[in-house]
A and B are shown apart, each in its own frame.
Chain A
Amino acid sequence: MIENKKAHKFGMVIDLDKCTGCGACMVSCMAENNVPFKEDESNKKDSITWMRVYRLTNGKSFPETQIAYIPRPCQHCGGIGDHGHSPCVSVCPATATDYGYDTGIVSQIYTRCFGCRYCMGACPYHARYFNWWDPKWPEGMENYLSPNVSPRMRGVVEKCSFCYHRYQLAREQAIVEDREIEEMEYQTACTTACPAGAIVFGDLNNPAHKVHQIVKPDPHPDPLNHKVVGKSRNPKVFRLLERLGTNTKVYYMSDREWVRKAGDNYLKGEWENVKTHHGASSSHG
């Protein structure tokens, strides 16, 4: 049986020093996942962007001004203690979203969703989007839609799935060849589209995967905050709002301290403790 002998934990690390904010990830994501758009996309509040690039500045005036771009897909939270109780999963009254313990990916089932949008309220990362309208494709564009991703209808929530259909297809091939899937067989659309190679995607549980080697996730809970699991032991790597214990699987990396600090809102003095604390690396080696 091919069925997962060992659970995967797919995740990514995004190098914010490499990201130029070109938006290729956003475009490839929309094309890959049949993400609908409107005739007039000028109202960004209504836009659906599974992958969204935000701009950060260090807030200083010229010539010290610095810019960083931060791509934000769904963070695929593992929830407190990484037990699968993601913020969105735990509030969904319809079980339209669940945590795949075999992959670590948070699903979204459009036909099950009835559009209450609790999950959108629960998501600390604004990664979920509501379909206020039925998608309207320009004439002939239906033919370009991917058959591997089901299109959504009005009244449901959608979000990044880590291009799960690519995993499904890679797994099918692995099944007929009677083997496990390999690292490069399952890569998300944004990863493959990034011209700067800023996104690295793979299995955080597999030490042979590049993402594991960069992130070096701490197998033990954070001694200062037991809600946090899988904290990076790489001092350059951080996660967004990490102390909430959402245990996201999207890590960010930067050499610049102000960028790392932008991963959360710190009170005065808090950052000084955080920046020198990188998991249990000092005590566990």
Chain B
Amino acid sequence: MSEIENNANDGPGDGAHQCTNNGPKDDKGLGLGVVFFMGAFLICFLSGWLLFPKLLYSKKEQPFNFDHNLHAEETGDCETCHFLREDGTFSGIPGLVACMECHTDEPMGETDDEAVFVEEYVAQGKEVPWLIYAKQPDCVFFSHAAHTGADGMDCKTCHGHIGESSSSRPYEENRITGYSRDIWGKNIWGIKKNSWDRMKMDDCAQCHLDKMGHKGYCFQCHK
């Protein structure tokens, strides 16, 4: 440990100490250095752990809260709103027309969110600009038909328990790539516990490898 640090640690001018410069003084400095190192490490570590993800991702709220739980109870399944079209493409998030099959100009419930829906979107004939948690980059081709149709996979396997949620969580967007945080996963270290924790290419490849015995060729999932 340097003398400068010792002086700094000792605080302002204690003349008596400065006379005894050698011997046990050095040990004390080393101890303080370790404490200093640990403190700095902890600060850096925690800021990296807690602050960095917040810096990396911006949070956006959905236009208004959507209660999946309530809608799933009313309709009975996911497919009423999120269905495969006749040509095999996937409808994704339903448009206003699909909502209007049940909803009218008058709110059906009493929540503020539905008032927002009716006033701002239904009355003005405007599509709701939903933020899509599972949105993949441009270069990805994903066929819902091949997974849910032919293979009979569950929505949950990739999307988790979103159908049982009663409030929309904030959409987190990577400030650098612009991708949804659902792609990288909630865990900043990329640790995966459930099949729906991440939606990266490696996760697709791993599942393909397990189920098909082959990761597949690039163009199977790229465009």
Contact = CB atoms under 8 A, between A and B. Distances in A.
Our verdict on whether A and B bind, yes or no, reads: yes
Interface stretch (B50-58, B60-68, B136-144): B136-144
Interface in A186-216: none
Given A3-B212, A100-B217, A172 B139 contact: no
A100 B218 contact: yes
Interface string B23-39: 00000000000000000
Contact of A100 (B86, B141, B219): B219
A143 to B, nearest CB: 15
A176 B86 contact: yes
Interface residues of A, number: 33
A165 B137 CA distance: 16
A177 B146 CA distance: 11
B19 interface: no
Interface stretch (A17-25, A103-111, A249-257, A271-279): A103-111
Given A111-B137, A150-B138, A172 B146 contact: yes
B96 interface: no
Contacts of A107: 217-219, 222
A165 B87 contact: no
- Most chain A Cβ neighbours within 10 Å, of B138, B146, B219: B219
Nearest to A3: B212
Interface string B208-221: 00001000011110
Nearest to A2: B150
Interface in B35-89: 84, 86-89
Interface string B187-223: 0000000000000000000000000100001111011
Chain B at the A interface: SS class: loop
B118 to A, nearest CB: 29
B115 to A, nearest CB: 33
Given A105-B219, A169-B87, 18 more contacts: A97-B218, A99-B217, A101-B217, A103-B217, A109-B218, A148-B223, A164-B223, A165-B141, A172-B87, A172-B89, A172-B143, A172-B145, A173-B145, A175-B143, A175-B145, A176-B84, A176-B86, A177-B88
Interface of B: 84, 86-89, 137-139, 141, 143, 145-146, 149-151, 212, 217-220, 222-223
28 contacts: A2-B150, A98-B217, A99-B217, A100-B217, A102-B217, A102-B220, A105-B219, A107-B217, A107-B218, A107-B222, A109-B218, A109-B222, A111-B139, A148-B141, A151-B138, A161-B219, A165-B223, A168-B143, A168-B219, A168-B223, A169-B88, A172-B89, A172-B145, A173-B87, A174-B88, A176-B86, A176-B87, A178-B150
